[in-house]
């Protein structure tokens, strides 16, 4: 399982979009959050994050994923 951690250091909510699903989770100001997903089989993990104003877009190479915010599972 791969885990990538982030934090929202803004004073406003941040959108966290997970592609290719297009799912969006709203991350409260000051929160720490993480995405967990299985490593791709037979190839390197090429997942990456992009920052856009007010949003982080994460292209996930796993077949499934889970997101937690401040230690609590949310979303998928």
Q: Does position 75 have pLDDT exceeding 80, yes or no?
A: no
Tens of pLDDT, residues 50-67: 999 999 999 999 999 999
Q: What is the dihedral of CA 34, 38, 44, 47, to 10 degrees?
A: -30
What share of the chain has pLDDT > 90, as a percent?
92
Please state, in angstroms and rounded to a whole number, the distance separating the CA atoms of residues 24 and 18: 6
């Amino acid at each position: 399982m791969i885990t990538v951690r982030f934090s929202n250091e803004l004073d406003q909510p941040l959108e966290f979009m997970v592609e290719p699903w297009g799912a969006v989770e709203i991350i409260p100001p000051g929160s720490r959050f993480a995405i967990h997903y299985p490593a791709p089989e037979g190839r390197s993990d090429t997942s990456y994050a992009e920052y856009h104003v007010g949003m982080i877009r994460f292209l996930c190479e796993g077949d499934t994923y889970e997101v937690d915010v401040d230690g609590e599972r949310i979303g998928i």
